[in-house]
Structure 1
Amino acid sequence: MDQVKYDNLKLGEKGAIISIIAYICLTAIKMVIGYTSNSEALKADGLNNATDIVASIAVLVGLRLAQRPADNDHTYGHWKAETVASLVASFIMMVVGLQVLYEAASSIFEGKSESPDLIAAWTGIVCAAVMYFVYRYNKRLALKIKSQAVMAAAKDNISDAWVSVGTVIGIVGSQFGLPWLDPLTAVLVGLLICKTAWGIFREATHHLTDGFDEALIIAYRDTISNVDGVDEVRDLRARNYGNNAVVDVVIVVRADMDIQTAHDISTNVEDEMFREYDVYTVHVHVEPGLDDSGKENTEYHYSKEANG
């Protein structure tokens, strides 16, 4: 199972590399056309793609670091490297977003009087189409390898496509005697960059502080409760290592049960969690419930850990 996950990380690198290549090309095109056509919105869109280069590189670096096996000082592996890289990328994106906001707001207050050349609008249309196709590729890849990082990259791709569409609207609108509409669109682009950066920061910090989806916790509990031999789920916790879910569960079984039967029940719990949710590791701790006489045997405890 570990090898399959490592192979998926390797395959996920392709999506990050394609995004990097696309963003480099689109950034260069948008910045050149933006300056020559005097379009603040297209320049802001270009800076947005520049931050996406950094974000995609962070995803690529994270995917590669996460492939490193466990060692003496990383006994759980390097899965969280991807999350740390995303956190760094969010800081960079926020700085650029604030810079775009500052320059766009300055342009509005200075009273821009010239509308950008329509070539800027055509550039935005072509770039939006390119990002849409990159989005479709990364989305298919993310679903295939079940990668949250690649799916996040795909969502970023489609977000950039919509930003380019908004840029085109602002540029075209400025042709109708509303030159301020172009820098106003740049402001909206800057706000979107900041919003995206905040979303990445919030998700990364949530994972790094061992936050976990409450709905999944409830689903895990229901699934384990339905395993034959499990009388009660006394405690259940989960956390993320990169894209991998690690589950710790305390189950209650009959106190008069022999250790081999308890072992088999814990194995069934693990197998069910691997099959239903593809979790990475399940640690099952078994505690005694009541025996046939209605008494609790407090001397019986059994723990078992398994990796998917």
Structure 2
Amino acid sequence: MKPLLGRITHALAPHSHDTNDKTDSALESSSRGMRVLAISFTVLMATAAIQAVIVVASGSVALLGDTLHNLADALTAVPLAIAFSVGRRPATRRFTYGYGRAEDLAGIVIVLLIAVSAALAGYEAVVRLLDPQEMRAVGWVAGAALIGFAGNEWVARYRIKVGREIGSAALVADGLHARTDGFTSLAVLLGAGGAALGFPLADPIVGLLITVAICFVLRDAAREIYHRLMDAVDPALVDEAERILSAVDGVRRVGSVRLRWIGHALHAEVEILVNHDMSVVAAHKVAVEAEHRLIHELPRLRAATVHTDPHGPAGADHHTTLATHRTH
């Protein structure tokens, strides 16, 4: 992939400054994401396979729900891997911002997979509640529950840590999903304990509780993806961008600051005001410095577009022509 070179235009129009190290960082983020997905997929598929064998031997509906959840969690690695791969493609004349939004589409698929696993687990729990059956191999069920918890908690920590470091909402959502899988695995122990004490309904009841837990994860994951689709960012990032811009020599005032996530990289569009009697060359220098500072000091910011406006003289309106076209 060719490195993105800095592009400079005149001072009183937007211009963009992309640095090679930011491009390399973005590629490294995608590579880290792919490694996380490959490792977590292997761990979760192994966990689900072990649990599936014990489901057949025991007939535990709670363990079945947990196994389905683990399987769904493992399969979410597939759309995410595709998204990370697609997101590395360079921008084109049609997709001028690149393909980073593929991660958000993968997030939607993840939410749907979580919803399907909740529906299947809930259905099986209700069926078993209406037609109770004796659980077999209770000790093996308990062991499978502990295996499920250990595998999911490890994967959850790994995904959430890397997801936050590279700014991937989809990977964080996937990690939250895995974390809940771990706690629902522990819940299977309750079903096994109840069955051992002669209470067969404990197993389907725990299955229903697991379904409720999956629904809570579904809500959190859907909210995380919704925020990304709506271009929501942490207000603290906007505050930090304003602080960085205000500290640039020559910036009299900071105008609008807009940030958006494209995949796991931030893009910024900002306005700064400089002295109205400043030369074009000097104003251009201030804009480039503002751009440079933003890209290097704002976490995970890959590109910034800076627009300069003249500050003063008093009473002057430099946007009269655009007044009817601006939204507030």
Give the TM interval when normalised to the shorter protein: 0.7 to 0.9
1:55 paired with 2:76, answer yes
1:122 paired with 2:149, answer no
1:43 paired with 2:64, answer yes
Per the alignment, residue 298 of structure 1 pairs with: 318
Look up the SS of the partner of 1:228 in the other structure. coil
Check the 8 A contact 2:163/2:171 in 1, yes or no: yes
Deviation at 1:211, TM superposition (A): 2.6
Check the 8 A contact 1:134/1:157 in 2, yes or no: yes
1:158 paired with 2:189, answer no
Deviations 1:34-85 (CA, angstroms, capped at 9, x unpaired): 2321211110000001211221111111111111111232111111111101
Check the 8 A contact 1:255/1:297 in 2, yes or no: no
Which of 74, 77, 87 aligns to 2:108? It is 87
Distance 2:184 2:285 in 1: 54
Distance 1:139 1:102 in 2: 30
Per the alignment, residue 302 of structure 2 pairs with: 280
What is the RMSD of the two structures over their aligned residues, measured on CA atoms?
Answer: 2.4
Deviation at 1:179, TM superposition (A): 2.3
* Structure with the larger RCO, 1 or 2 (CA within 8 Å, 6+ apart): 2
Per the alignment, residue 227 of structure 1 pairs with: 248
Look up the SS of the partner of 2:210 in the other structure. helix
Deviation at 1:152, TM superposition (A): 3.8
TM-score normalised by L of structure 2: 0.81
Which of 132, 143, 168 aligns to 2:189? It is 168
Distance 1:9 1:193 in 2: 28
Aligned runs of 1:240-251 on 2, under 5 Å?
A: 240-251=261-272
Distance 2:194 2:294 in 1: 54
1:213 paired with 2:244, answer no
TM-score normalised by L of structure 1: 0.86
Match for 2:109: what amino acid? V
Q: Where does structure 1 lack aligned partners over 5 or more consecutive residues?
A: 300-308
Distance 2:228 2:237 in 1: 14
1:197 paired with 2:213, answer no
Check the 8 A contact 2:26/2:265 in 1, yes or no: no
Moved more, 84-93 or 204-213: 204-213
Distance 1:256 1:109 in 2: 81
Check the 8 A contact 1:87/1:200 in 2, yes or no: no
Per the alignment, residue 3 of structure 2 pairs with: none
Check the 8 A contact 2:89/2:98 in 1, yes or no: yes
Distance 1:136 1:85 in 2: 20
Check the 8 A contact 2:169/2:228 in 1, yes or no: no
Distance 1:132 1:14 in 2: 17
Deviation at 1:224, TM superposition (A): 2.1
Q: Where does structure 2 lack aligned partners over 5 or more consecutive residues?
A: 1-21, 320-328
Deviations 1:100-121 (CA, angstroms, capped at 9, x unpaired): 11221232233x2524522101
Check the 8 A contact 2:180/2:214 in 1, yes or no: no
Distance 1:166 1:147 in 2: 29
Deviation at 1:175, TM superposition (A): 2.1
Match for 2:255: what amino acid? R
Per the alignment, residue 6 of structure 2 pairs with: none
Distance 2:187 2:216 in 1: 16
Per the alignment, residue 270 of structure 1 pairs with: 291
Q: Using a 3 Å threshold, how does the CA distance of structure 1 residues 91 and 251 change in structure 2: closer, same or farther?
A: same
How many pairs does the alignment contain? 296
Per the alignment, residue 198 of structure 2 pairs with: 177
